[in-house]
Structure 1
Amino acid sequence: MTERTLRVGVASYEQMKARTMTIARGEQKPDRDDPTMWFTSLESFAKILSARNHALLDLIAQRKPGSLAELETLSGRPSPTSRER
């Protein structure tokens, strides 16, 4: 497996939206070293790194499910959209 560096940023929703709009208008161009993944807090980033989510990411990488429904079946976990129903 190729190792890659994940660049993460932490900013408020308003800051992320303003940055995105500035880039979309062509007023700013992201640097190569800018974060490509943003979170609103360190706590929200930490949730992504949980053992449960790590296992889910491994399952996705190994089995490559073709849909959320298939991933639900493989993992035994409901998707966020099915929890809303």
Structure 2
Amino acid sequence: MKRIVIGIMPQEKIRERMLAIARGTYKPKPGEPKIWFTSMKSLAEVLSDDNRCSPLSMNHSLNRSSVSRRLPGESPAISHVL
């Protein structure tokens, strides 16, 4: 199983960091978190049993066209589904 590194930081600091990366004034170092949460509470909500996927749902992949068919009208803003 692959290990992921997460970080917890206030939302304003996350925003400042992302903007600095976009401007090119900050380059993340290897090993720095790629996933950020604003609190332990928000992390706990994501990791709760209610948000877990079953192995069956993990095998059912969605692509842009299948998501578009499920949504009414066109959905050109959808670029990927996590």
- When the two structures are superposed, what TM-score results if normalisation uses the length of structure 1? 0.67
Aligned amino acid, residue 10 of structure 1: I
CA, structure 1 residues 32+60, in 2 after alignment: closer, same or farther (shift >3 Å)? farther
Percent identity of the aligned residues?
A: 30
Structure 1 counterpart of 2:74:
none
Misfit runs of 4+, over 3 Å: none
Matched, 1:65 2:42: no
- When the two structures are superposed, what TM-score results if normalisation uses the length of structure 2? 0.69
Structure 2 alignment gaps of length 5 or more: 72-82
Query: How far has the Cα of 1:45 moved from its partner?
Result: 0.3
Query: How far has the Cα of 1:61 moved from its partner?
Result: 1.6
More helix by share: 1
Aligned residues: 67
Structure 2 counterpart of 1:38:
36
Structure 1 alignment gaps of length 5 or more: 71-85
Distance 1:59 1:52 in 2: 15
Structure 2 counterpart of 1:20:
18
Distance 2:10 2:32 in 1: 16
**CA-atom RMSD in angstroms:** 2.1
